[in-house]
Structure 1
Amino acid sequence: MHSALLGIARTVDELDKVRCEVADLIEYGFGTAPHFEAVIAEVDGVPAGMCLFFPSFSTWFGRPGAYVQDLYVEDRFRGLGIGAKLLRRVAAIVRDRGGVYMRLSVDTENFAAQGFYTRLDMKFSDTEQVHAAYDDAFLNLAAADCPPGGTLTKGTP
């Protein structure tokens, strides 16, 4: 799985940005409270691809779904339909759990992947933008948890 993540980073020329280590995947994916799942494809017993996903929830649909964080197929196995099979398997898992959608993000310069998802009838959303907080921006956001004198409570239906 870690080698697949490194493969994705090489594909988009961002290998220097990968901080994830094998121990992180073990702790957060296979520990007491897993944060993700992965479907692995093999060809003749050789790892050929991987789709890493985690649950999400749509308040518009009122139903669960999944966010695909990473989809990767080793170069030598591309063109065999493995990526499509991985996404279809994840979609079936989500459907069987009551889910009704799957989402993912694609690097803006990864035109091959964009075409691939379009061929699978996954639509580009022109009504949404992805916003993210990383590193110091994330820490600053977390540090400003609650204004002085304010309180937050966990919501209930």
Structure 2
Amino acid sequence: MTADLPKIIVRSGTIEDVDTIHTALLRLGDHIGAPEEIISTADDLRTYGFGEKPAFSTLIAEVDGEFAGLCLHFPIFSTWMGRPGVYVQDLYVEDRFRGRSIGERLLRRVARECRKDGGVYLRLSVDTDNETAKAFYERLGIAWSNYEQVQKIVGEAFFAFADAPMDEGK
């Protein structure tokens, strides 16, 4: 007699999932060794992900009804290709569910939804020290881009930049 295989589903996240989503992000921060980088709150996610003008969407993976993983993503556009795409901001799979293709299922679902909406590409960033994630993405055909690097400005430096007076004469 064989045991029943666990039922794996991928569904859209809802506002009722916010605490679970936030917990997953905190665990992701721990996993990559940067828990102090996660300063968002569950209320931030409620406001900016499920409010009047959502800044992101989520997919939730469940195994037999238990949270197994998360993919937080949002639409982007390539002026070079003239087509939309999707940016995966966070992909997280609970340790006990790794090796069951949960991450792949989440990414394929995001790609499928993007393609349905006319999208032609998926973009994401990988923590520079996360060799396991790099190998996982490469195995799926999500290759490292040798002609781009991520630049960013955050916190007080961002506020100073945004608030600096513009010299209209130049």
1:92-107 matches, within 5 Å, as 92-107=112-127
Give 3-state SS (helix, strand or coil) of 1:65's partner: strand
Which residue is 1:66 aligned to? 86
Helix, strand or coil at the partner of 2:150: coil
1:44 lines up with 2:60 in the alignment: no
Residue 10 (1) aligns with residue 30 (2): yes
Secondary structure at 1:50 match in 2: strand
- 1:53-91 per-residue CA deviation (whole Å, 9 max, x = no partner) reads 001000011010011000000000000000000000000
Stretch of structure 1 that moved more, 138-147 or 36-45: 138-147
SS for the counterpart of 1:108 is coil
Q: TM-score, normalised by structure 2?
A: 0.85
Q: Structure 1 CA distance, aligned partners of 2:68 and 2:159? A: 36
Task: Work out the CA distance in 1 between the residues paired with 2:136 and 2:93.
Answer: 12
More displaced, 112-121 or 17-26?
17-26
SS where residue 25 of structure 1 aligns? helix
1:88 aligns with 2:108: yes
CA distance 1:136–1:80, change in 2 (3 Å): same
Q: Percent identity over the alignment?
A: 53
State the match for 2:41 in structure 1.
21
Q: How well do the aligned residues superpose, as a CA RMSD in angstroms?
A: 1.1
Distance 2:130 2:82 in 1: 32
Question: Following TM superposition, by how much is the alpha carbon of 1:148 offset from its aligned partner in structure 2, in angstroms?
Answer: 4.0
1:153 aligned partner: none
The reply on whether 1:118 has 2:138 as its aligned counterpart is yes
The aligned counterpart of 1:109 is 129
Structure 2 unpaired stretches of 5+: 1-20
User: Where do 1:127-142 residues align within 5 Å?
Assistant: 127-142=147-162
Q: d(CA) in 1 for partners of 2:138 and 2:59? A: 21
- Counterpart in 2 of 1:30? 50
Counterpart residue number, 1:154: none
Per the TM alignment, residue 13 of structure 1 is displaced from its structure 2 partner at its CA by 1.2
Cα distance, 1:145 vs structure 2: 5.6
| 1:149 Cα offset (Å) | 5.3
Structure 2 CA distance, aligned partners of 1:61 and 1:13?
36
State the shift of 1:143 in Å.
Answer: 1.2
Q: CA shift at 1:146, angstroms?
A: 2.8
